[in-house]
Structures are given as C-alpha cells and as structure tokens.
Amino acid sequence: CAGAVRGAHAEHFNRVNADGVTALVRITREMAEKPSFLLLSSLAAREPQLSAYAASKKEGERQLAMVAGEMPWIALRPPVVYGPGDRELLPLFRLMERGVALLVGECQARFSMLYVDDLAAAIQSFLEQSEWPQTIYELHDGHPDGYSWDEVVALFSRLRAKKLIKLHLPLSLLSLAANMNQVLSRLTGKHPMLTPGKIRELYHTDWVCDNQAIMAEIGWQPKVCLEEGLRRTMKW
C-alpha cells in the first residue's frame, strides 16, 4: 500500500493515506487466509508537524498499528526515491541537463536518497521473510550522512562534464507560488505538488535516516550508489 503524494488540503491526504490504510487493513484481515500488510509510508512521517502529507502518513502508520491486531505488518519509510519513471524529480533533472540547477530549501539541509530498484529489492526481501515484526523501518542508499543539494549538483555536473549554473529560489517566491497553487486547486480540482506544507518539508534541515535496523534484521543491502543511480536516471 502506497498512497497520495499530491494535494492541497488535509482532507485529501487523510482520505487516502490514513482512512485508506484503515480500510485496506480491515479488508486484508477479513479476506486473507494468513494475512500480512506492508505499508509504503514516507520519511516525512517522522515530522508530522510539517505538512498535511506528513501528518497523514504518520496517521496511516498509527492506524495500521491500531487496527492490525495480531496480523503481521511492517511500514517502510523511504527518503527521496529517484530513478527512471519518477515524474516528481524529472523537472529538476531536465533543468540540470540544460545547465541550470534549481535549488530550494536550506543550504545546510541534508537528506538521504534511495534508488527505486533498491526500494523494490527491500520490499521483495520482506515478502520472502516468514515473520514480520510489526514495526517501522527507515532505509537509504548506504550513504549514512545523506547529501546536500550542492553535493548532488556537483556529482551531476561531473557526470555530465559541464558546469551548472545554480539558482537558489527565495522562500518568498516559493511561498507565493504555493499559496497560488492552493487557490488554483480549489478552482480546478487539481492536486499540486508545491504547497505551503511542502515548502516546510523542503526547508526542514534533517532528512537523513538510518539503515541499521533493516540491514540487521532482514539482510537487505542497498546496491546502487547515487553516482550509479544518476547515471541510470540520465539515460531514461
């Protein structure tokens, strides 16, 4: 079970990421002979005060733990997931291909990343386990200190053998765009990615997570470093 990542209002996120989890857990308990439940949550759930999305992910985890009873379950909290097929980071990568790095958030912020194939491998590893411990796991690409945007841009620049122009968008401009998105969402019914809550997530300085528990308990190991992941993504 994954969920909604776009939305302008808490009601939309809660309907999918919290109420939806509750409904699916109940259905799974009733229908499956030996039921188990894997929730694809988000590292954002670690900071539910930042946004409606983060709060809904945290509530989804809480509902899972409350409703599951004795049913085995796990919840995964991936960080920034990237790779071929990802449409959310695609605009940023395309701009960098054209020589422009658009930077948002605090300069000192650090964040973990995870290539999509490694996330899929982690899920597969759990599906092969006979016992699930009813707990939450964080996971990343094996780089324990995470990255800054400057480090990601520098690596991209080296792989492409071109110097990138860095443009740091001011918070005032981002806030204006986010507030306009909320107004447009009410008029059009479309769900924007950039919202005031998303800006608070972007300006949070610590999105670094810890791999130790998941590696120790199921033996999963990330295989794709950021450099190799960017190479594969740039070919897409």
CB 71 within 8 A of CB 132: no
10-residue averages of pLDDT along the chain (236 residues): 62 90 94 88 97 96 96 96 86 89 87 97 93 94 95 93 90 88 76 85 95 92 96 86
pLDDT at 7: 59
- Of 22, 29, 28, give the one whose Cα is nearest residue 63: 22
pTM (predicted TM-score)? 0.89
**pLDDT tens-digit series, residues 195-206:** 889 999 999 999
Distance CA 104, CA 185 (A): 22
What is the β-pairing status of strands 73-77 and 80-82? unpaired
Written as six digits, the tokens of 120 are 């899929």
- Of 37, 205, 229, 85, give the one whose Cα is nearest residue 143: 229
CATH top class, domain 10-235: alpha beta
pLDDT at 21: 95
Q: What is the dihedral of CA 121, 24, 196, 51, to 10 degrees?
A: -80
> Where are the domains positioned within the chain?
10-235
Distance CA 33, CA 181 (A): 45
pLDDT at 108: 87
Angle at 84 between CA 96 and CA 151, to 5 degrees: 40
**pLDDT tens-digit series, residues 142-186:** 999 999 999 999 999 999 888 999 998 888 888 898 888 878 777
